[in-house]
Amino acid sequence: MNNLLAKRVLSNDTSDLNEIFKNSANPANISFAGGFPDSQLFPAEGLQQAYQNAIQTDGQSIFQYASTQGLPALREKLAQRMASHADVAVSANNIMLTQGGQQAIDLVAKLLLNHGDAMVVEGPTYMGALAAFDTYEPTYYEVPVEDDGMNLRMLRKTLQAHPEIKLIYTIPDFHNPTGTTMSIRKRKALVALANQYNVIVLEDSPYRDLRYSGVTLPAIKHFDTEGRVIFISSFSKILSPALRTGWLVADDQLMTPLCGLKSAIDVQSPNVTLAAIDQYLAHHNIDQHIATINAAYRVKRDAMLTAMDQYFPATVSYTRPAGGFFIWVTLPAGIDAQQLLTDVVLPQDHVAYVPANCQFASRQVKNAFRLNFTSLDPATITTGIARLGKRLTAICSTPKPAVQLS
């Protein structure tokens, strides 16, 4: 029956990645692969109370169909939060509640991309965003990420060479997978480029509140002068991913068709969940909760970096993120991180990470991988990094590496 499947499905082979995640879920392994929050930090009691309050307050009506754009009271609160936490002045009418940040990405792709349409992604980038974009079969142009965000000289050249580009996808805050943050200068310059070349910027910022040092920067959307920036964030990392609730900020001319698409995709998000989140925000100080999370994640990040400093060989480099979930590790050229993982690190060291290739639209970079530091406790992090470090030391000092050069 394969002859009946759409081309977007046939070209989308993620079986390698599925295999890695399946193996990394084995409790015998120490997995740095998933981008999971720490289960111990979910405010379970507060959320349980919030569900109760929501149903108690709204009664029968909470269970009826509601608006596609999502619960107005929660959008009002998010509008205030966008002002106080992202320096973005926006009304509730310009906010849509979505099924996590992921659905917001899918919606924007659906809004803009015809088969073959051109877009820019960072290299590397969030593999889930690539999975969403892939189903619209775009033409990708990849721009490298530097310590202070996207390489804008390369971006300008790319936009000049390809005036057909419609969309730039970026993760400015504690970038997935590199952990780097885009500078204010680059945020401004990115908006100027978007204006000049008539493109939409999709700013994906699920980690922006998870800062462990330094000060929060204004969102790229703050600098938007022409309604070209669509901002996305999510409750997944600051409250719970099982709520599947994110939000999207867009100007009117884009919000109207986005609501039409959301309606066709799933009618609306679950009203009970949205009302529960609204109650949680009304009766709990989420910023205090985020401060608690951040204190715990700072310890975990430090544990990972300390262990890496101790156990990783000098020929291996890595980022030192000021927040977020991830550290990006670059191996000496010629080492294939995926092969290393499946041949040695997973079966012998019982450690998992996400290899580079599936995090590049080009699938070309192989000598790097992503580590997550939020889901495990500091002692387990140290144990896993020690094992991984010893393996990397052995690999990097072997004149003829045990794994095949790519």
Contact 158, 192 (CB under 8 A): no
Task: Identify which of 281, 174, 294, 166 has the alpha carbon closest to the alpha carbon of residue 230.
Answer: 166
- Which residue stretch of 76-84, 252-260, 314-322, 363-371 sits at the interface with its own copies (rule: CB under 8 A)? 252-260
> Can residue 112 be called a binding residue for its own copies (CB under 8 A)?
yes
Q: Which is nearer to its own copies, 6 or 83 (CB)?
A: 6
Contact 123, 143 (CB under 8 A): yes
Torsions phi, psi of 110, nearest 5? -65, -35
Q: Which is nearer to its own copies, 125 or 181 (CB)?
A: 125
Contact 387, 349 (CB under 8 A): yes
- For its own copies, the binding residue among 76, 87, 135, 313 (CB under 8 A) is 135
Contact 369, 329 (CB under 8 A): yes
Site for its own copies in 232-251 (CB under 8 A): 240-245
Q: How many Å is the maximal CA-CA distance in the chain? A: 70
Note if the bond before 177 is cis, omega within 30 degrees. yes
Residues in the chain: 406
Site for its own copies in 113-132 (CB under 8 A): 113-115, 117, 128, 131-132
Site for its own copies in 136-175 (CB under 8 A): 136, 166-167
Site for its own copies in 254-283 (CB under 8 A): 254, 257, 260-261, 263-273
> Can residue 37 be called a binding residue for its own copies (CB under 8 A)?
yes
Site for its own copies in 194-233 (CB under 8 A): 198-200, 226-228
Site for its own copies in 7-26 (CB under 8 A): 7-9, 12, 14
Is the Cα dihedral 334, 340, 345, 348 positive or negative?
negative
Q: Which is nearer to its own copies, 61 or 285 (CB)?
A: 61
Nearest-approach distance from CB 38 to its own copies, in angstroms: 9
Torsions phi, psi of 288, nearest 5? -70, -40
Nearest-approach distance from CB 23 to its own copies, in angstroms: 16
Nearest-approach distance from CB 264 to its own copies, in angstroms: 4
Instruction: Give the span between the Cα atoms of 318 and 18, in whole angstroms.
Output: 25
Q: Which is nearer to its own copies, 178 or 271 (CB)?
A: 271
> Can residue 179 be called a binding residue for its own copies (CB under 8 A)?
no
Contact 109, 136 (CB under 8 A): yes
Contact 235, 243 (CB under 8 A): yes
Instruction: Tell me the site size for its own copies, rule CB under 8 A.
Output: 81
Nearest-approach distance from CB 349 to its own copies, in angstroms: 24
Q: Which is nearer to its own copies, 132 or 308 (CB)?
A: 132
Amino acid 398 reads T
Residue 155: half-sphere exposure toward Cβ, Cα within 13 Å: 29
- Which residue stretch of 32-40, 82-90, 202-210, 328-336 sits at the interface with its own copies (rule: CB under 8 A)? 32-40
Site for its own copies in 43-82 (CB under 8 A): 44, 47-48, 51-52, 55-56, 59-66
Q: Which is nearer to its own copies, 55 or 386 (CB)?
A: 55
Task: Identify which of 67, 84, 65 has the alpha carbon closest to the alpha carbon of residue 255.
Answer: 67
Query: For the chain, how many helices (H) and strands (E)?
Result: 13, 14
Nearest-approach distance from CB 227 to its own copies, in angstroms: 7
Q: Which is nearer to its own copies, 127 or 322 (CB)?
A: 127
Contact 234, 247 (CB under 8 A): yes
Amino acid 338 reads Q
Instruction: Give the span between the Cα atoms of 200 and 114, in whole angstroms.
Output: 14
Nearest-approach distance from CB 372 to its own copies, in angstroms: 12
Q: Which is nearer to its own copies, 167 or 219 (CB)?
A: 167
